[in-house]
Structures are given as C-alpha cells and as structure tokens.
Amino acid sequence: TGIKVVDLIAKDLNELLQKCDGREVKLASGKKIVLKTEGALLQKAPMSLRQRILDILINPNIAYLLMMLGFYGLLFEITHPGVWFPGVAGLICLILALYAFHTLPTNYAGLALILLAMALFVAEAFVTSYGLLAMVGIVSLLLGSLFLVDSTAEFMQISLKLIVPVVASTAFLFVFLATLALRAHRRKSPSGVEALVGAVGVLDSDGKFSVGGELWDVISSEPIRPGDPVEVTAV
C-alpha cells in the first residue's frame, strides 16, 4: 500500500532470522546495534502452569461463563441457605472470573449492569413481584453482557452464541420460578380458616363437626343428624 508498515515477510522462523541478520535497530536508550541472527541458537521458553491457566482464563467467553456460574452458585446459596457446595463453588468461579477480567479491557458499566441484574434476581426470590423484577433483571443482564468487554477486536469480545443461551436460560428459569410463585399465591391455603370453607365432614354423635382431624361446633339452617355429611359454607 506504500505506507511502509511491514519491514519484511518470512515464511518461517529460520527465514526470519536470516532476513533480520545485519539489520540495524535502535534501542529505547537511543543506542544503535546490528543484529546477528543467522545461525543463532534457538531456545524456547514454555509457559509456566500459572501462565497456561491464565491463558485459558483470559478468554472472554470462559471468563464470562465463570462469572455467570459464580453468580448462580451464590444466588442458589442465598435462596437455599445451608447448601454450602453451590456457594463455595460459585465463589471460586467468581474469583477466577474477576482475576481474568482484571487483564481484559473490562467495561465497568457492563459489570455494574450484571451486578444489578443479580441483585434483582435475589430480590425476586424474596419479594412477590410476579416476575417483574426478574424481567428487568434479564434486560439488565443482556445489556451488561453486551457491554462487558470494551474492545473492537472480535477475538476479545464475548460471543453472541454464548450470551444468547445464557440470557435465555436465565429468562426461562425465572419465568418458571415466577409461575410457580403465582400458582402458590392463588392456591387455597391447606390449613387454617380458609381451608375449612368448602370442606366436607361428618357430624358425630356429640353434635360436633369432624373435619381435618378437628372438631367444630356447627350452625345449620336445616336439621342434621349424626353421620350426615356436612359442607362448610362459612366460618
């Protein structure tokens, strides 16, 4: 293209060393040296175990997945106290994810949106909003996931093929939980005064109404005899 941004092209390392031989380069200190690379002895420095682990963790998709697993583990522990394994495993995943995001170009606005989503999910577990808090949390999770890594390079971005299933699974989970909560709210109470209305029992020989293992006095506008079935209309 004429802009001279490439010094030379080599098909392999040996050819590169041959072409670099005799070239003059300027060091950061200002000193100029001549490279003598032809026939140089090659020594490879393999990555340490720590570097290999970090190389895996700094993959944006792996870091994102670890973070979500960590949040879900802590969320399960909060909503089901005493089940220690999900909480401990979630905390480990979260620490590894934060370590990875420390080296990635993380957008903290995206991270804040994901934290907000998790807070809304926890609130949904304790506040009956019929799924409203969960829906807002899902939107926050989607936006936070899209904004989490601030890079124009495609290999440094979280894949949509990962974000969509994670957000969709989260939406399905909390819609399912909200549906269960709504059904439980509408379900008739199995005990107390509410459970008596509509119940059918038998009048015993002492004139007591027997229902659900309890004895009650009854008032009836019609004459009833011991052994007659009786339906409760009011308490």
**What digits encode the pLDDT tens for the residues 143-152?**
999 998 888 8
Greater confidence, 171 or 22?
22
pTM for this entry: 0.59
Greater confidence, 197 or 45?
45
Task: Point out the least confidently predicted range of 24-38, 43-57, 158-172, 215-229.
Answer: 215-229
Q: For residues 92-116, give the mean pLDDT.
A: 89
Alpha-carbon gap, residue 229 to 214, rounded angstroms = 15
**pLDDT tops 60 at residue 127:** yes
What is the distance between the terminal CA atoms of the chain, rounded to a whole angstrom?
91
> In this predicted structure, what is the pLDDT of residue 164?
92
Convert the pLDDT of each residue in 190-209 to its tens digit. 556 666 777 787 877 777 87
110 close to 144: Cβ distance less than 8 angstroms = yes
What are the residues whose beta carbons fall under 8 Å from the beta carbon of 189, sequence distance 6 or more?
195
**pLDDT tops 70 at residue 2:** no
Q: For residues 94-120, give the mean pLDDT.
A: 89
> In this predicted structure, what is the pLDDT of residue 179?
67
Q: What is the mean pLDDT of the chain?
A: 82
Q: pLDDT exceeding 70 applies to what percent of the chain?
A: 88
Q: For residues 62-84, give the mean pLDDT.
A: 84
Distances (CA, A) of 187 to 131, 143, 144, 204: 18, 36, 37, 30
**pLDDT tops 70 at residue 51:** yes
Greater confidence, 67 or 156?
67
Task: Point out the least confidently predicted range of 23-32, 156-165, 170-179.
Answer: 170-179
Alpha-carbon gap, residue 134 to 123, rounded angstroms = 9
> In this predicted structure, what is the pLDDT of residue 72?
84
**pLDDT tops 80 at residue 29:** yes
